[in-house]
Amino acid sequence: MKIFLAQQNYHIGNFESNTKKIISAIESAKQQGGDLIVFSEMSVCGYPARDFVEFSDFINKCYASIDIIKQQADTIGVLIGSPAHNPIKEGKSLFNAAFFLYEQQIKAEVHKTLLPTYDVFDEYRYFEPAYDWKIIEFKGKRLAVTICEDIWNINDNVLYRICPMDKLMLQSPDVMINLSASPFDYTHDEDRKSVIKANVLKYKLPMFYCNAVGSQTEIVFDGASLIFDKAANLCKALPMFEEALEYVILNDDGTIAAPVIEPASRVPDKQLNPESLEEELNIEQIYTALILGIKDYFEKMGFTKAIIGSSGGIDSAVTIALACEALGKENVKAVLMPSPYSTEHSVDDAVQLSKNLKNSYEIIRINDVFEALLSTVRPLFHDLPFSLAEENMQSRIRGNILMSIANKFGYILLNTSNKSELATGYGTLYGDMAGGLGVLGDCYKLQVYALAKYINRNKEIIPENIITKAPSAELRPNQKDSDSLPDYLILDKILYQYIERRNGPAEIKAQGFDAALVDRVLKLVNMNEYKRNQFCPIIRISPKAFGVGRRVPIVGKYLS
């Protein structure tokens, strides 16, 4: 049996585009003599559709698309993902389903059993879990079809009371097929291999795993679809962050007619536990995920041009470089807005960056605007000393200018704040926290430096002085980040333990960090939730990103 995996990038709710893409892959597979083609979870409508599935019209369009697609499923079997009606009165009205199409008919439905409701997932809000489990008989093979999370309840990582494959094994299947929409993070690639390998080793069946690719606002799907033989050898790995259509032959004896890429003994069987943040993580994967996140956000929203505030600092430099790669240098405008406290070398560095990248830039000095604003509020401020209020005025002036240019010429403002700053509240609401998309909001400061080094891997794009100089907001004379924040080498490690690892203060202190510093950092994180709650969407690259994947109370007392 020749089985294809169609790893595709869908647009949520764009039924015409998604249907055309699915049909194109079916036609290609038929031309190559394919017997079965597998698409990813919710391929018909895109994932995650969230509250769109609460609209009956949305569900009707899913079924209308399936009716169109099934006409192409004549000589080939097709597995696609879509919401499905639940005919039983009790429970929620929808299933997260896989539809098996053949001979221009819907031959079977498979319903997702395990509905993740953690991190970025909220499936139990919309769907009813499966209440029966049936294999699909097709061309002499018995297919055990599952959907994404259904294969993750295995070994010691048990989150649910049931395991769908245990139910399906009672019907003696020949092969496992999983339709997935599994998001990228910098630990997930190897973790995913480990879980799939564990299923193969447990059930002694080959696994065909088809994952979605593409970015949906903040969530990036990396593809990396996999095929394992029944001995847990990796026989096919589709590319990361790219669309692909590939196949293997499943022999009658359950073996796979494809060379082994990784023997079973080499497949990692434990989750990565990165602690250094800037060195042990796969920066190339993070870089590519961010590029895809920017590119898809703009293409799927119909945007073309980006504007970015360019300060001569590391965060704006990396953001501009990423934007130029994702959108093309001709579609990126950098705006330099020096204030009375900006150093000339910062201006020079920002200019050199844009010259290296060949993107357009403007220099707009804000001295006069700043002085006019100070004069306006002076009767109210009286003779009170210079403080955070005056610092933030400069940031908000810059935000106002950037948004004005964006409104006038149709740009989208890309935000440059990093995760260390967002965590500790080191940013100005309605100033440098403005933007339509947070590019670096899930990257700690040390990761931003690692990205800069990666961008410069072949030649100097980001001027070396931007990388080596001490970071500064330059909102007052001789200001440095270290005036307000602990050294990033320490700060980022504490933040990682608290945010990603969910360790409390006692656990973090037990690792040897200064107790007073831990208390100070954690208090900063908690008291600045109100700022992050107003922030723009952030491209997710970590296991625990700010935004939809991390939900804590704004007014909570814990550690405050």
* Residue 62 located in a structural domain: yes
One domain, residues 120 and 162: yes
Does the structure show a pLDDT above 60 at 560? no
One domain, residues 305 and 220: no
One domain, residues 143 and 228: yes
* 235: nearest Cα among 280, 274, 281, 200: 200
Question: How far, in Å, CA of 388 to CA of 473, rounded?
Answer: 12
Of 456, 481, 506, which residue constitutes the final position of a domain?
A: 481
Mean pLDDT of 224-228: 98
Could you identify the residue written with the tokens 């339709």? 179
The verdict on whether 62 is a catalytic residue reads no
Write the CATH number for 372.
3.40.50.620
Question: How far, in Å, CA of 199 to CA of 155, rounded?
Answer: 9
Stated length of the chain: 560
Q: What is the pLDDT of residues 396-440, one digit of tens each?
A: 999 999 999 999 999 999 999 999 999 999 999 999 999 999 999
Question: How far, in Å, CA of 560 to CA of 558, rounded?
Answer: 5
Mean pLDDT of 18-27: 98
Question: How far, in Å, CA of 154 to CA of 165, rounded?
Answer: 10
| Dihedral angle sign, alpha carbons of residues 496, 501, 506, 511 | negative
* Residue 528 located in a structural domain: no
- What is residue 271's predicted lDDT score, i.e. its pLDDT? 43
One domain, residues 334 and 421: yes
Q: How many distinct structural domains can be found in the chain?
A: 2
Binned at pLDDT 50, 70 and 90, residue 484 comes out as confident
One domain, residues 406 and 464: yes
3-state secondary structure of 60: helix
Helix-helix angle 488-499:445-455, to 10 degrees: 110
**Which entry of 61, 112, 236, 295 is annotated as an active-site residue?**
112
pTM value?
Answer: 0.95
One domain, residues 377 and 326: yes
Does the structure show a pLDDT above 90 at 532? yes
One domain, residues 254 and 292: no
Instruction: Please give the mean pLDDT across all residues of the chain.
Output: 94
Q: What's the token pair of residue 361?
A: 């830039």
One domain, residues 146 and 231: yes
Cα distances (Å, whole numbers) of residue 443 to 66, 283, 417, 453, 492: 39, 11, 9, 14, 10
- Structural domain of 105: 2-266
* Residue 435 located in a structural domain: yes
* In the chain, % of residues over pLDDT 70: 96
Q: What's the token pair of residue 326?
A: 């994702």
Is the distance from CB of 145 to CB of 98 less than 8 angstroms? yes
Mean pLDDT of 304-328: 98
Of 240, 266, 292, which residue constitutes the final position of a domain?
A: 266
Of 451, 481, 511, which residue constitutes the final position of a domain?
A: 481
The verdict on whether 148 is a catalytic residue reads yes
Question: How far, in Å, CA of 74 to CA of 62, rounded?
Answer: 20
Mean pLDDT of 298-315: 97
Write the CATH number for 26.
3.60.110.10
Sequence-distant (6+) residues with CB within 8 A of 24 are: none
Does the structure show a pLDDT above 70 at 516? yes
One domain, residues 201 and 318: no
Q: How far is CA 328 from the centre of its chain?
A: 21
Is the distance from CB of 184 to CB of 541 less than 8 angstroms? yes
- What is residue 299's predicted lDDT score, i.e. its pLDDT? 98
One domain, residues 245 and 293: no
* Residue 257 located in a structural domain: yes
Is the distance from CB of 59 to CB of 85 less than 8 angstroms? yes
Q: What's the token pair of residue 394?
A: 């400069």
- In 358-450, DSSP assigns E strands to 360-363, 411-415, 437-438
Is the distance from CB of 341 to CB of 477 less than 8 angstroms? yes
* Residue 315 located in a structural domain: yes
Is the distance from CB of 400 to CB of 384 less than 8 angstroms? no
* Residue 428 located in a structural domain: yes
Question: How far, in Å, CA of 171 to CA of 315, rounded?
Answer: 55
The verdict on whether 460 is a catalytic residue reads no
**Which entry of 41, 128, 325, 390 is annotated as an active-site residue?**
41
Does the structure show a pLDDT above 60 at 270? no
**Which entry of 45, 62, 148, 324 is annotated as an active-site residue?**
148
Half-sphere exposure of 243 (CA within 13 A, CB side): 11
Does the structure show a pLDDT above 90 at 342? no
One domain, residues 301 and 447: yes
* Residue 205 located in a structural domain: yes
* In the chain, % of residues over pLDDT 90: 88
* Residue 451 located in a structural domain: yes
One domain, residues 253 and 347: no
